[in-house]
Amino acid sequence: MKLTVQVGLLVVLLTAGCGTTAKFVYPANNSTLVQLSTSHATEKKVAVPPFDDQRNDSNQSGTMFLYLIPLMPFGWVDYERPDAARAFLSVAAFDFTPSEDLPKAAAYSLRRSGLFSDAFFTFGGEKDKADYILEGQLLSSRYTGSMWTYGLSLFGPDLWFIGFPAGRSHNYLTLALQFKEAKTRKIMWEKSYDLEQSTTQGLYYNWGHDVRGYAYLMQQVMNDAVTGINSAMRTAASQDRQTQ
């Protein structure tokens, strides 16, 4: 009877998020976006096309069930493409199209920065309306998550109810950006990023936050990128004045 109850509790816990789909929502915190000017510093426009998706396609989920082995302290998943996965620690799926969502996020940050009159996502048809282009290569959006059962197999979740952590999620984001003049294709600024954020989750804290870190990581990228692009534009303007 006791085992039946434990199995039932674990099934309820693991399926509680089956109807929950997490979504990439940007910005993570609008108040912490870098804003360098409250008005347009220039009348220039920036086009941001879809990022080049160069991620691997390996998703591993069967290892989550290793927690069933007595004395095994945890089970885990490892996804190179979390947008194609269907099992996380506390959510069922991740609504995320990184080749589009990330450049849309980049365009939002560029508009918010106050450096340009406009910044917009485009599949290519509106590039001729832009003075600059921000291109990106997505190298990794890896997700790893572990469910902790403390070597107690089906009885491990008993500890979750008294506040023990249920597991941890890791979000990784690796990408490269290039800011170019639209007509000459001259690279004015470029930088690569390799960032990570982890979240410890329990029934009473951070439940459902498996993939929330991707928005925070992209915001870190764009806050730094806005500052770098501003510096590059100032340098280019100074050099133009010196040659006149």
Instruction: Give CA–CA dist 197/242, Å, rounded.
Output: 44
Average pLDDT of the residues in 191-203 = 98
State residue 79's pLDDT score: 98
The answer to whether residues 132 and 180 touch, using CB atoms and an 8 Å cutoff, is yes
Dist. CA 137–CA 27, nearest whole Å? 20
pLDDT at 50: 97
> Which parts of the chain fold into alpha helices (H)?
2-15, 98-113, 157-160, 213-243
Going by C-alpha positions, the residue among 226, 66, 44 that lies closest to residue 153 is: 66
Instruction: Identify the structural domains of the chain with CATH numbers, from first to last.
Output: 2-243 (3.40.50.10610)
Q: Determine how many CB atoms are found less than 10 A away from the CB of residue 35.
A: 15
Residue range 97-119: average pLDDT?
A: 96
**What is the pLDDT, as a whole number, of residue 128?**
77
**Which pLDDT score, from 0 to 100, does residue 122 have?**
96
Q: Please identify which residue in the block is written with the tokens 């009348």.
A: 43
pLDDT at 236: 81
Long-range contact set of residues 164-167: C-beta below 8 Å, sequence gap at least 24: 164/202, 165/200, 165/201, 165/202, 166/13, 166/89, 166/90, 166/201, 166/202, 166/203, 166/207, 167/74, 167/89, 167/200, 167/201
Non-local (6+) Cβ contacts of 8 within 8 A are none
Going by pLDDT thresholds of 50, 70 and 90, the confidence category of residue 240 is: low
Mean pLDDT of the chain: 90
Q: How far is CA 182 from the centre of its chain?
A: 27
Q: Tell me the CA end-to-end span of the chain in Å, nearest whole number.
A: 87
Q: Give the model's pLDDT for residue 239.
A: 74
- Per-residue confidence (pLDDT) for residue 244, from 0 to 100: 61
Closest CA to 211 of 15, 17, 23: 23
- Region 133-137: mean pLDDT is 97
Tell me if the pTM is above 0.85.
Answer: yes
Q: Once rounded to an integer, what is the mean pLDDT over residues 179-198?
A: 96
Detail the DSSP E strand segments found in 141-217: 143-148, 167-181, 187-201
What is the pLDDT averaged over residues 23-43? 87
Is residue 151 a contact partner of residue 72, using CB atoms and an 8 Å limit?
Answer: yes
Question: With 90 as the cut, is the pLDDT of residue 169 above it?
Answer: yes
pLDDT in tens, 51-65: 999 999 999 999 999
